[in-house]
Amino acid sequence: MNYKFMRLLVFFDLPMLTDKDKREYQKFHKYLVRNGFIMMQKSVYSKLVINNVTSASVKQRIKNNLPPEGIVELLEITENQFSGIEYLVGEEQQITIDSMDRLVEV
C-alpha cells in the first residue's frame, strides 16, 4: 500500500464570554484531543493522516462536530511541507512520529 502522509491543521477562534461559550470550547477541544489531534499552540492542532481518503473522513467528522459559534479553519498540507516549520522562539516540539509502530488509522 502506498502512503501519502499529510497533516491536517485546525485553527480556531471561539468566543469565551459566557459559561455556555466556555463549555462549547471545552467540548470542541476534547473532541480534537480524543480524535488524535496534537496541540501545537493554544488554538492550533495538528493530526497526521495517511492518505486523501482518511483526510476526507477526518474533515467530515470535524464539520459534524463544529461549535455553534466562532471561527474554525482547516488546512491540509503534506508531511514534507509540515516538516519545514521553522521554530523562531522556544524549543522544537517532538510531535512527529517516525515509526509505523504508533500509526493509528481512523
Q: What is the pLDDT of residues 70-101, one digit of tens each?
A: 999 999 999 889 888 887 876 666 655 555 55
| Euclidean distance between the first and the last CA atom of the chain, given in angstroms as a whole number | 16
Residue 20 pLDDT > 80, yes or no? Answer: yes
Asked, for residue 1, whether it belongs to a domain, the answer is no
CB 24 within 8 A of CB 69: yes
Q: What is the pTM of this model?
A: 0.77
Domain total in the chain:
1
CATH code assigned at 55: 3.30.70.240
pLDDT level of residue 14 (50, 70, 90 thresholds): very high
E runs forming strands in the chain: 6-13, 38-41, 44-49, 71-78
Q: What angle do CA 27, 33, 34 make, to 5 degrees?
A: 85
The pLDDT score that the predictor gives to residue 65 is 95
Q: Which domain holds residue 29?
A: 6-102
The pLDDT score that the predictor gives to residue 101 is 53
The pLDDT score that the predictor gives to residue 105 is 55
The pLDDT score that the predictor gives to residue 48 is 93
CA distance 106 to 49: 9
SS3 2: coil
Q: What angle do CA 32, 62, 50 make, to 5 degrees?
A: 80
Mean pLDDT of all residues belonging to the chain:
86
Q: For the residues 37-62, what does the mean pLDDT come to? A: 93
